[in-house]
Amino acid sequence: MNFNLSNGASRIIVSNAIYGVDQSSQWSLWSSVDDGLVWLKVANVNCTKHTLYKDTIYANISGKVRFEIRHSSLNTSRINIDDLYIEDFDTTASQDYHLTLGNPSNAQTDIAFPDNYLLAKDQYILSYNSSKGIPNWVGWHMSSAWHGSAPRKDAFKADATLPTSFIRIKPSDYTNSVFDRGHMCPSEDRDLTTTDNLQTFLMTNMIPQAPNCNQQTWRYLEQYCQTTAQNGKELYIYSGGIGSGGSGSKGLFTTIANGKVVVPQFLWKVIVVLPNGPYDLNRITADTKVIAVKVPNMNFVTGINWSQYRVSVDKIESLTGLNFLADVDDSIEDVLEAQVP
């Protein structure tokens, strides 16, 4: 290719086959972002079929780029390169599937599993624990495409989509409990429409949170995510609680609402940050930014410095039994989850 593509390239599809009666061979795709001065290998492809076959390569390169296909085998077998399709790299913010990176507990929408029951909303997806009256985890995608000007509704409400055999927590179950109704998916993450915002006030999205922690340190972490999303990034976020025994404004409690709602000892959040773009799962590398925090659910937690509570994703997994980033390539997942800030 002796010319540049101005809109980058996300996905490249190459129709190829072994030529005639030649033997299997290999070709490689190379890219250059400086008019062909320096070339970097994008992928190696084994060519093993005599009939045309479409190989898909995710280049995920933004801006100016050109490509080159090279024969990369030691043998002299010929290769038939036919159609070449290159898809632009679109950096427009989008609303994507909340569990693109995986379902941490393999939750199912099955009443036989009341303590790992999958609830899928348009705005977020969660695993509900009926025995604890709180979610095991809530997962959601965040980008500027979710942002708008809908006002905060503060309309806390029991979740009527839960099976009738499950414990349905009401807003009044938190009244006089000295704990906040703590959002997992924040109200401000879903303000594109009134409907979006209302969904964040369902009680299945709540965990009892120490007021100071919720209104200060935890809130600053939420604001960090929102600011990041407004600056050309998209985030995949999971959030939940660990253990039991948190302190509100009047001391330590393990449960509220006559034992129906467990008060976690810690709050946790796992955040994966990517530049806006398509095919998110294929764009995650060992250098992708991942943040994990484990914050004491205690009223002494105050201030702006949420980063002092950073841990590895592996640490959160060991404490919760959950499996994050399950759909990410294993070799990449292992690196990202082991990182300790």
Q: What angle do CA 273, 279, 283 make, to 5 degrees?
A: 50
Strand runs labelled E in the chain: 9-18, 25-32, 40-47, 53-61, 66-71, 79-86, 117-120, 125-129, 134-142, 180-183, 206-209, 233-242, 246-248, 251-253, 255-256, 261-262, 266-275, 289-296, 310-311
Q: Which two tokens stand for residue 295?
A: 């914050």
∠ CA 228-196-166, nearest 5°, is 115
Annotated active-site residue 50? The verdict is no
Say which DSSP state 114 is in: T
Q: How far apart are CA 51 and CA 28, in angstroms?
A: 19
Residue written as token pair 């201030």: 303
φ, ψ for residue 112 (rounded to 5)? -70, -10
Alpha helices per DSSP H over 102-251: 194-199, 211-212, 218-229
Q: Is the alpha carbon torsion for 235, 8, 145, 231 positive or negative? A: positive
State the amino acid at position 76 in one-letter form: T
Q: Which residues contact 227 (CB under 8 A, 6 or more apart)?
A: none
- The active-site residue, picked from 50, 98, 147, 183, is 183
How far apart are the C-alpha atoms of 209 and 160, rounded to whole Å? 23
CA triplet 53, 54, 57: central angle to 5 degrees?
A: 140
Strand ranges in 190-258 using DSSP code E only, listed in sequence order: 206-209, 233-242, 246-248, 251-253, 255-256
Residues 197, 150: Cα–Cα separation, whole Å: 7
DSSP secondary structure letter of residue 287: T
Residues assigned a catalytic role: 183
